[in-house]
A = this chain, B = another copy of it.
């Protein structure tokens, strides 16, 4: 039961308390704001009849479920709308553990810390599979570690924190490994709108009753605080997941679902493209500076983050604080994500101040040399 609160909070608090102006590159909160239709959806909703303020269907309001199902090319019945991808991931992991005999969860290292936290909370045991130099999770490594003890394989593509995007071959392999070991692949795809290579492949494209796809509108619509996500479930798990959702949360929040539905219907492609292009430019700006100052880094194929390593400045919590105090740049210590990137720092590029950060990092590094 005991579990440290994610380091995120610790670092954000430290940065907020700093006397120095700090560029916040800690967490993955989009800075560009939601589309207009989302705001309009909330305003319209506010005038609704009293009945519209009451419980939505537990599995989500019907128009939103249908819209998601249409977009993903699945039956509406397979879609459950959740309190963000966080709940979708929790439900999928809990249900997958209950539905399979093993108690082992295969996770990449480095890993988004909530996956390992949930593993522990649910009484299961994590087995970490180190990613390769490029940040990719090699299916051969996953296959080697999978066994009848494996109940779940949890992957995240595009990846937080490595920026890796798993292509069709890797996804097909992950699903096959889950099936071969009577396990469930849980594929968290919340950064799917931020693929810079065109290589991204959703686990949905591989038809199997051994995979769940979780997603949300937190990143794609710039609304991490709305808590509207979803899972696409295989037939065999629908009833169990719906029951668990109902008994955990009863239902999600209706104003948020209504606003997301409106935004999905009325927001055109340019909104999504603009945000993806913006991230791409920031990545270019940031990695150019990392090149210039001689830092190691992994160029992200997708997502919001750059993992970087500075010579003789390992990504410990202590050094993260030093970077806040001495450079005015707040990142996340690599140790928050596991062992293999413990000496790296993660920088989230969801701030308009990426250029400020690069100037400060240059000054910091030249001051140390």
Stretch at the interface among A158-166, A218-226, A280-288, A289-297: A218-226
Q: Do residues B253 and A227 form an inter-chain contact, with CB atoms below 8 A? A: yes
Answer whether residue A172 sits at the interface, using C-beta atoms and an 8 A cutoff: no
Which one of B3, B117, B222, B249 lies within 8 Å of A249 (CB-CB)? B249
What's the minimum C-beta distance from A186 to chain B, rounded to whole angstroms? 14
Cβ–Cβ < 8 Å partners of A118 in chain B = 247
Distance in angstroms between the alpha carbons of A58 and B223 in the assembled complex = 15
Q: Do residues B27 and A53 form an inter-chain contact, with CB atoms below 8 A? A: no
Q: Do residues A225 and B55 form an inter-chain contact, with CB atoms below 8 A? A: yes
Q: Do residues A5 and B242 form an inter-chain contact, with CB atoms below 8 A? A: yes
Q: Do residues A253 and B252 form an inter-chain contact, with CB atoms below 8 A? A: yes
Distance in angstroms between the alpha carbons of A255 and B46 in the assembled complex = 11
Cβ–Cβ < 8 Å partners of A254 in chain B = 225-227
Cβ–Cβ < 8 Å partners of A223 in chain B = 53-54
Answer whether residue A90 sits at the interface, using C-beta atoms and an 8 A cutoff: yes
A residues 221-244 in Cβ contact with B at 8 Å:
222-228, 239-240, 242-244
Stretch at the interface among A37-45, A101-109, A174-182: A37-45
Q: How many residues in A have their beta carbons less than 8 Å from beta carbons of B?
A: 65
Distance in angstroms between the alpha carbons of A99 and B39 in the assembled complex = 43
Q: How many copies does the complex hold?
A: 2
Which one of B6, B46, B224 lies within 8 Å of A54 (CB-CB)? B224
Answer whether residue A19 sits at the interface, using C-beta atoms and an 8 A cutoff: no
A residues 251-272 in Cβ contact with B at 8 Å:
251-256, 259
Q: Do residues A53 and B255 form an inter-chain contact, with CB atoms below 8 A? A: no
Q: Do residues A250 and B1 form an inter-chain contact, with CB atoms below 8 A? A: no
Cβ–Cβ < 8 Å partners of A50 in chain B = 30-34, 222
Cβ–Cβ < 8 Å partners of A256 in chain B = 253, 255-256
Answer whether residue A47 sits at the interface, using C-beta atoms and an 8 A cutoff: yes
Cβ–Cβ < 8 Å partners of A224 in chain B = 53-55
Distance in angstroms between the alpha carbons of A56 and B84 in the assembled complex = 13
Which one of B56, B99, B121, B244 lies within 8 Å of A243 (CB-CB)? B121
Which one of B47, B86, B121, B246 lies within 8 Å of A6 (CB-CB)? B246
Which one of B2, B84, B114, B253 lies within 8 Å of A225 (CB-CB)? B253
Q: With A87-B248, A227-B253, A253-B252 given, is the CB distance from A33 to B5 under 8 Å?
A: no
A residues 71-129 in Cβ contact with B at 8 Å:
83-84, 86-87, 90, 95, 98-99, 114, 117-118, 121
Cβ–Cβ < 8 Å partners of A240 in chain B = 1-2
Cβ–Cβ < 8 Å partners of A147 in chain B = none
Answer whether residue A29 sits at the interface, using C-beta atoms and an 8 A cutoff: yes
Distance in angstroms between the alpha carbons of A118 and B58 in the assembled complex = 15
A to B CB contacts below 8 Å, 11 in the list: A1-B99, A2-B243, A3-B247, A29-B54, A32-B50, A39-B47, A53-B223, A55-B225, A83-B252, A117-B247, A227-B249
A residues with CB within 8 A of B: 1-3, 5-6, 9, 27, 29-34, 39-40, 42-43, 45-47, 49-56, 58, 83-84, 86-87, 90, 95, 98-99, 114, 117-118, 121, 222-228, 239-240, 242-244, 246-256, 259
Closest 3 A/B residue pairs (Cβ): A33-B50, A225-B254, A86-B250
Known: A5-B246, A117-B243, A117-B246. 12 other contacts (CB 8 A): A29-B51, A29-B55, A40-B46, A53-B222, A53-B223, A55-B225, A114-B247, A121-B247, A227-B249, A227-B254, A228-B253, A252-B253
